[in-house]
Amino acid sequence: MEIEQLIDKLSNEAPPMRPMGSPWALAAKWLLGFALYIVALLLTLETPRDDILLQLAEPLFALEVAALVAMVIVCALSAAILSFPDLYQAKRIAYLPIAAFILFAGVVVTAFIAEGSAMEMHPEEFLCTAFITLYSLPPAVWLFYSIRKFASTHFALAGSVAVLTSFSIGALVQRIVEMTDSIAHVLTYHYLPMFAVALIGLLLGRKLLRW
C-alpha cells in the first residue's frame, strides 16, 4: 500500500505534459518557417540572380532547384520522424533522404556530364561554401533545439538529417542568388560539402541530442 500511495502521490504532483503531436505537423511547422526564412533572406541580405526566370526555363536548372526543394522537404519530414523514440511507426519515411539524395545526385551529375567541363579547385571560390554554411546556421539551430525537446533514440541520424536539411536550404538560397552557370563550380563548392556536413551532423547529433 505504501508503494501504491507513493505512486499516486508522484502522479498527482507531476506537472501536466503537452501532447507531442505528430511528426507531420512538426515538419509542416518547420517547412513554413524555412519558407519564411528564405523569403526574408532574399528580401534583405540577398536578391535572386537577374536571369532567374530564364534559368528556371532551362530543364536541368529547374530540375536541380526542384531536387533541392525536395531534399529540404524530405529531410525535414525525416527529422520529424526521427524525433520520436519509436519513429512514429514510420521507419521507411525516416530513411527517405537516401532516395532523395540519390535523385538529387543523379540530376547534378547529369547536368555536369551535359556541361562537359572539368572540375577545378580555386581557393577563393570556397566563399560559396562559407555563405551556404552561414545561411544554414539559423535553420540548424532551430532544428536541433526542436529535436532536443523530444526523446529521439536515433540522435546521430537525427543530427545528420537536421544538418542536411539546413545545408540544403543554404545551397538553395546560394543557387538562386549566385550568377554562375558552371555546374562544375556548383558541384565542387555547393554540393560535395554535403558529405562532410552529413558526417559532422552525426557527431553533433551524438553530442547534442543524447538524453
- Cα 136 to Cα 9, 94, 148, distances in angstroms: 46, 21, 18
Residue 128 grid cell? 560559396
pLDDT tens digits along 65-92: 999 999 999 999 999 999 998 898 888 9
70, 99 Cβ separation under 8 angstroms: no
pTM of structure: 0.88
Which residue in 61, 163, 174 sits closest to 108, CA to CA?
A: 61
pLDDT tens digits along 118-154: 766 676 678 999 999 999 999 999 999 999 998 889 9
